[in-house]
């Protein structure tokens, strides 16, 4: 079985960013999902982002086949804030995140191509 390390680390970072560990009245300006993704992808390498994308795709594939073994990892790491904070199931949130990651990967790929092949007239 896959370990889903990238997905677990990402979800733990997301929980920290939205201040899930604090009581509701002590939370001060938690980040939105878009803000978090922009900050998170800015700190990570292209490879790490692609690993997360792969983990999310695998999770969604298993979830669509009604294999909920990955959800046990979320319970083990106490990642249960998605429904409360975002008002949707884990799979729905991860599907949204996957779409945002695809856009980011595509733009990062274009920037790299422009940077390395721009001298040859490529645009």
Q: What is the pLDDT of residues 63-101, one digit of tens each?
A: 999 998 888 888 888 888 888 888 889 999 999 999 999
Domain containing 64: what range?
5-120
Average pLDDT over residues 10-31: 81
Greater pLDDT, 32 or 123: 32
Greater pLDDT, 39 or 80: 39
Contact 81, 20 (CB under 8 A): yes
Q: Which residues contact 33 (CB under 8 A, 6 or more apart)?
A: 14, 86, 96, 97, 100
Instruction: Compute the chain's Rg from CA coordinates.
Output: 16
Count structural domains, the chain.
Answer: 1
pTM: 0.85
> How far is residue 109's CA from residue 79's CA, in Å, rounded to a whole number?
31
């Amino acid at each position: 079985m896959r370990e889903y390390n990238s997905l677990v680390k990402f979800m733990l970072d997301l929980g920290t960013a939205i201040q899930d560990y604090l009581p509701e009245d002590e939370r001060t300006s938690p980040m939105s999902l878009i803000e978090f993704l922009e900050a998170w992808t800015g700190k990570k390498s292209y490879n790490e982002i692609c690993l997360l994308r792969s983990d999310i795709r695998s999770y969604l594939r298993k979830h669509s086949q009604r294999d909920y073994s990955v959800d046990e990892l979320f319970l083990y790491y106490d990642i249960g804030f998605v429904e409360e904070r975002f008002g949707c199931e884990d799979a729905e949130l991860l599907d949204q995140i996957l779409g945002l990651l695809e856009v980011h990967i595509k733009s990062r790929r274009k920037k790299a191509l422009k940077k390395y092949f721009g001298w040859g007239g490529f645009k």
